[in-house]
Amino acid sequence: MKYDFSENIQRGILFLSKYNRDFYLQIASLVKEEYFEFPIHGTLFSSIRTHYDKYSSLPTDDFLVEEVKDVKEGKEQLSDYVDELHYINSMDTSSIDNVEFYLDIVESFARKEAMKSAITESIGLMKDDKIDEIESVVRKALTVNRNVDYGHLYFDDIKGRFERIFKEAEGERFSLVFPTLNRELEGGLSRKELAMVVAPPGVGKSLYLVNQGVQALMENKKVLYISLEMSEDKIAQRFDSVTTLIQQRNLKEKYHIVTERLQVFKDEFPESRLIIKEFPTGLATVNAVRSLMVQLKNYEDFVPDIILLDYLELMRPTREGLAEYQAQQRISEELRGLAVENNILVWTATQTNRQGRSVKLITDAELADAYGKIRTCDYAVSLNQTEEEFDEGRMRAYVMKSRNGKQRFVVPVNIDYSILRLTEGEDYFDDEE
């Protein structure tokens, strides 16, 4: 698709690209040679880009002519380029004074072209049954713009930096289940973060996520619990016990008491909401979660503050053909991207390798080749339990990773298996050493 601007407007783009470095830097990624109506204009812009990429400066006309010599078509005359440069340089300056106008039209055209290309590519992906890749293609097209973020100007923004730090420290936090962990995190985790609970099968990863969900509900948060191996009703029953303190085995016979206590809970935390969604094991991708969030927003007016996903290994990455350890890292990266995109906190559970069952304290060594999955996350805590501890209803939580707080320490945990509730215990480790 060619520019639908007038010839003089296209010349104006070239004029500003030759003489205005700020203008060029803002449009460099938005302009393609084939956009220009006349091949000479496209070749001139391409030569400007080549020179700047090589020398970090805009070319003079003499330099530009030299650049053109190497790329012009065989039938083209160099004198035609010299004449065109003369026309460009002779433009009425009043027609190029409004730099913002030129920036806006270049950006608008580039955005339209990017979306057209994305739609065309999406049709091909759909034909090839690569549905999961379509959203990333469209999302990339939507990022096309001329906004330039130069980063943090260290010495120029000292006051603003500390104001942001203080504001962040006083900002919203998502409490963890155990008070000690919250203290070390100055109140808890934040939005746009990914947290993991790590343990071998059967130790309590899912129970931890349920307890984490109840903690969020008690802070009037909207919670989305995604199960990839257990039915929605079974997960709901776990929430029933943790919130009402009624034993799992007694839920049916005490149905009326459960109902009353849940109403009391809801009255106490009126802004809280919980939605539990089951996906087929091994088939759900992060894009499926995105789609669910769109549906919940449109049909239930529900936008989660926190997502609890049980669990990472039962998801499918959007990119096919990866080795297992690569797939796990990819899913972790996609989950953190989901957290950042939607300004939410994401918790997930993940398993150790076989050695995780035999060690007393699970560290990143028990992830082996799959270590990459916690490289992306902001917080990771392992659940550790011996046979003796299981019999006594206790375990140890070990902070494996924390970007924003203390790590590599242990917190004692008590488990009431009758109501599935986790609480912080007393420090009994000194006696065992």
Same domain membership, residue 268 and residue 215: yes
Express each pLDDT in 157-195 by its tens digit: 788 777 776 766 566 889 999 999 999 998 899 999 999
**DSSP state, 415?**
E
Same domain membership, residue 84 and residue 173: no
Please answer whether residues 420 and 406 qualify as being in contact, where contact means their C-beta atoms are separated by less than 8 angstroms.
no
Same domain membership, residue 105 and residue 48: yes
Does residue 381 carry a pLDDT above 80?
yes
State what percent of residues in the chain have pLDDT above 90: 57
Please answer whether residues 362 and 384 qualify as being in contact, where contact means their C-beta atoms are separated by less than 8 angstroms.
yes
The reply to whether 301 falls in a domain is: yes
The pLDDT of residue 226 is 96
Same domain membership, residue 119 and residue 187: no
The pLDDT of residue 430 is 44
3-state secondary structure of 305: coil
DSSP string computed for 359-391: -SS--GGGGGGGGHHHHS-SEEEEEE--HHHHH
Amino acid at 62: D
Which helix (H) or strand (E) is 411 found in, with range?
strand 410-416
**Cis (ω within 30 of 0) for the bond into 311?**
yes
Q: Write down the residue that tokens 């307890």 correspond to.
A: 211
CA-derived radius of gyration, the chain: 29
Same domain membership, residue 180 and residue 107: no
Q: Write down the residue that tokens 């739609």 correspond to.
A: 119
3-state secondary structure of 23: helix
The reply to whether 154 falls in a domain is: no
Sheet with strand 222-227: strands edge to edge: 273-278, 222-227, 306-310, 345-351, 193-199, 379-384, 394-402, 410-416, 421-424
Same domain membership, residue 357 and residue 279: yes
Greater pLDDT, 412 or 161 = 412
Distance (Å, rounded) from C-alpha 35 to C-alpha 39?
9
Greater pLDDT, 130 or 208 = 208
Same domain membership, residue 245 and residue 99: no
**CB neighbourhood size of 280 (10 A):** 11
- Per-residue pLDDT, averaged over 229-240, amounts to 94
Same domain membership, residue 126 and residue 47: yes
* Number of domains the chain contains: 2
**CB neighbourhood size of 100 (10 A):** 8
**DSSP state, 299?**
H
Distance (Å, rounded) from C-alpha 401 to C-alpha 129?
38
The reply to whether 300 falls in a domain is: yes
The pLDDT of residue 306 is 97
Same domain membership, residue 18 and residue 119: yes
Does residue 153 carry a pLDDT above 80?
no
Same domain membership, residue 133 and residue 36: yes
Express each pLDDT in 94-150 by its tens digit: 878 889 999 999 999 988 988 988 899 889 888 887 776 787 788 778 878 876 555
Same domain membership, residue 207 and residue 133: no
Q: By residue range, what is the domain housing residue 193?
A: 168-424
Please answer whether residues 296 and 303 qualify as being in contact, where contact means their C-beta atoms are separated by less than 8 angstroms.
yes
Express each pLDDT in 39-77 by its tens digit: 999 999 999 999 988 888 899 999 999 988 888 877 888
List strand residue ranges (DSSP E) for 193-305, in order. Answer: 193-199, 222-227, 273-278
Q: Write down the residue that tokens 């150790």 correspond to.
A: 352
- Per-residue pLDDT, averaged over 402-427, amounts to 93
Distance (Å, rounded) from C-alpha 6 to C-alpha 173?
54
Express each pLDDT in 292-344 by its tens digit: 998 899 889 999 999 999 989 999 888 778 888 888 999 999 999 999 989 99
- Strand-pair category, 273-278 with 193-199: unpaired
Q: Specify the CATH number for the domain of residue 134.
A: 1.10.860.10
Does residue 79 carry a pLDDT above 60?
yes
By the 10 Å C-beta count (0-12 exposed, 13-18 middle, 19+ buried), 170 is classed as exposed
